[in-house]
Amino acid sequence: MMTLGRTLIVTAAATLAALQGTGLIARAQSASPPGVSGAWVPMGAGRGVDPKIAPPPASPVVLKPEYAKAYDARRAAEAEATRRGEPPASAAVLCNPYGMPRMMSIASYPIEILPTPGQITIVTEAFSEVRRVYLDQPQLPIDEVPPGYYGHSVGRWEGDTLVIDTVGIKESVPGYNGMPHSSQMRIVERIRLVAPDVLHDQITIHDPVVLEKPLTYTLGYRRLPNYKMVEFVCENNREYVDEQGRVKMRLGK
Amino acid sequence: MRRAFVTFLLFVVAAAGSRVLAHHSFAMFDTANPVTLNGIVADFQWTNPHVYIELDVPEGVRGAKHWTIELGSPSILMRGGWKFNSLKKGDKVTAVVSPLRDGQPGSLLTRITLADGRMLGNGGPAGVGPGTTEPGPGAVTTPRP
């Protein structure tokens, strides 16, 4: 029996060492706390929302002067065109997905958070966008990430808070409130439950090229129990952009 | 659990009468001058990013005028009580719409009365708040200040 017991201990130790070698132990340690998985719908800080769970106001967008002038002029021109009934085209008119970070804040469309060992996947209903957050892995240098809509995200649990670091967002992907950003943008999210059915995602945008100082805003979500995400395939887009850059609608016959 | 979802649905219904934005701005529609269309459904397209009703509206002896009516997305509409088969070809309906400003027979739905008397709006969202949310594709939302 002693021999068998010793064999078992040796085997267990060897298995543990092997698991540590493959990183499986580290992944198990960062298993997601229960509560964040499932569907969530954006919740603002509007009328009727309990101030205790309402997302706090965003900090102002402070662009460097060389970017601020063009940004302000563009915003004013867009507002004026909309007032004339000639709304300017946005990427979404062409059914291009939002990308990070706007995909997290699409009014009225739920997101779904899917924790699995070593990874958290976030799926949005609008345009069926998908982002994958790799847990407990080092972030890649920005210049090694192929620029894209979702970039490269790594995450870790700090107690009850999921901290996600994202880099590698294409410069052509519109930023928060349409603000410009550079290839050096870094998005840091702190996601946590502030009530059993209310989630906050505090997003901080770091961009040493475009921003005078980091920008922080918080998104709120309400849990949608048993919600089944609806598919979203952009197959019948009747909107198009005419020669003057105005959004028009194709009519049926 | 169920109560939360019911609350969500109630919010959706409450929001259904609000003004509209979508994956494009709806400024091309004249929301201040609605038009009532009594017609026959020629087609009902349950698609993204928008659902469409093609409607033939009889016009005296000259025949019918064809209207295209844009709605929210299926996701938004489902949360407002719509189903993929809420309408079918040949249904007689009454639709209140906001017409295109350029005079073309295209429009945005405000509300519709179905053949069986049920009334449906243009869907409705939940959780829209100022400052931190973007108008979604096909979403029926209260415009941000």
3-class SS letters over B16-71: CCCCCCCCCCCCCECCCCCEEEEEEEEEEECCECCCEEEEEEECHHHCEEEEEEEC
The percent of residues in chain A predicted with pLDDT above 90, rounded, is: 64
Q: Do residues A104 and A203 make contact, with C-beta atoms less than 8 angstroms apart?
A: yes
Residue A21, pLDDT above cutoff 70: no
pLDDT digits (tens, 9 = 90+) for A40-72: 999 877 767 788 899 999 999 999 999 999 999
How far is C-alpha B28 from the geometric centre of its chain's CA atoms?
A: 15
Q: Residue B131 to residues A67, A219, A229, B75: CA-CA distances in angstroms?
A: 21, 9, 25, 23
Q: Residue B84 to residues A228, B38, B77: CA-CA distances in angstroms?
A: 16, 21, 9
Which residues 125-144 of chain A have a CB within 8 Å of chain B? 125-127
Residue A33, pLDDT above cutoff 80: no
> Residue B129: enclosing H or E segment and its boundaries?
none
pLDDT digits (tens, 9 = 90+) for A103-161: 999 888 999 999 999 999 999 999 999 999 999 999 999 999 999 999 999 999 999 99
Joined together, the tokens standing for residue B68 give 């295209």
Token pair 């598919």: residue: A231
Find the mean pLDDT for residues B51-80.
Answer: 92
Nearest CA in chain A to B104: A251
pLDDT digits (tens, 9 = 90+) for A165-177: 999 999 999 999 8
Q: Do residues B59 and A246 make contact, with C-beta atoms less than 8 angstroms apart?
A: no
Q: Do B127 and A218 touch (CB under 8 A)?
A: no
**Residue A28: pLDDT band with limits 50, 70, 90:** very low
Joined together, the tokens standing for residue A186 give 């870094």
* Interface contacts (A, B; CB < 8 Å): 178
Amino acid at the residue B104: Q
Query: For residue A216, what are the β-bridge partners?
Result: A204
Predicted model pTM: 0.80
For residue A26, which phi and psi values (nearest 5 degrees)?
Answer: -60, -40
> Residue A233: enclosing H or E segment and its boundaries?
none
End-to-end CA distance of chain A: 86
**Residue B25: pLDDT band with limits 50, 70, 90:** low
Residue B65, pLDDT above cutoff 80: yes
Nearest to A188 by CA among A217, A165, A154: A165
- How many angstroms separate the CA atoms of B75 and B128, rounded? 15
**Residue A239: pLDDT band with limits 50, 70, 90:** confident
User: What does the pLDDT read at residue A223?
Assistant: 95
Residue B95, pLDDT above cutoff 70: yes
Q: Do residues A59 and A218 make contact, with C-beta atoms less than 8 angstroms apart?
A: no
What is chain A's mean pLDDT, rounded?
86
A7: number of Cβ within 10 Å: 10
Nearest CA in chain A to B51: A236
Token pair 């609806």: residue: A230
**Residue A17: pLDDT band with limits 50, 70, 90:** very low
Give A144-147 contacts, CB < 8 A, sequence gap 24+.
Answer: A147/A171, A147/A183
Nearest CA in chain B to A97: B137
- How many angstroms separate the CA atoms of B142 and B124, rounded? 10
User: What does the pLDDT read at residue A25?
Assistant: 43
Q: Do A105 and B132 touch (CB under 8 A)?
A: yes
**Residue B42: pLDDT band with limits 50, 70, 90:** very high
SS3 B139: coil
Residue B27, pLDDT above cutoff 70: yes
When CB atoms are compared, the residue of A55, A234, A247 closest to B24 is: A247
Q: Do residues A39 and A111 make contact, with C-beta atoms less than 8 angstroms apart?
A: yes
Token pair 């946590």: residue: A192
- For the complex shown, is ipTM > 0.90? no
Answer with the residue of higher pLDDT: A8 or A212: A212
User: What does the pLDDT read at residue A121?
Assistant: 98
Determine if the peptide bond prior to B125 is cis (ω within 30°): no
pLDDT digits (tens, 9 = 90+) for B102-117: 899 999 999 999 999 9
pLDDT digits (tens, 9 = 90+) for A209-232: 999 999 999 999 999 999 999 999
Residue B23, pLDDT above cutoff 80: no
Q: Do residues B134 and B92 make contact, with C-beta atoms less than 8 angstroms apart?
A: no
**Residue A3: pLDDT band with limits 50, 70, 90:** low
- How many angstroms separate the CA atoms of A41 and A5, rounded? 53
Amino acid at the residue B74: P
Q: Which residues on chain A are in Cβ contact (under 8 Å) with B25?
A: 82, 87-88, 247
Q: Which domains does chain B have, with CATH numbers?
A: 2-120 (2.40.50.140)
Residue partners of A22: CB distance under 8 A and separation at least 6: none
**Residue B137: pLDDT band with limits 50, 70, 90:** low
Residue partners of A13: CB distance under 8 A and separation at least 6: none
User: What does the pLDDT read at residue A7?
Assistant: 54
Classify residue A150 as left (phi > 0), alpha (psi -120 to 50) or beta: alpha
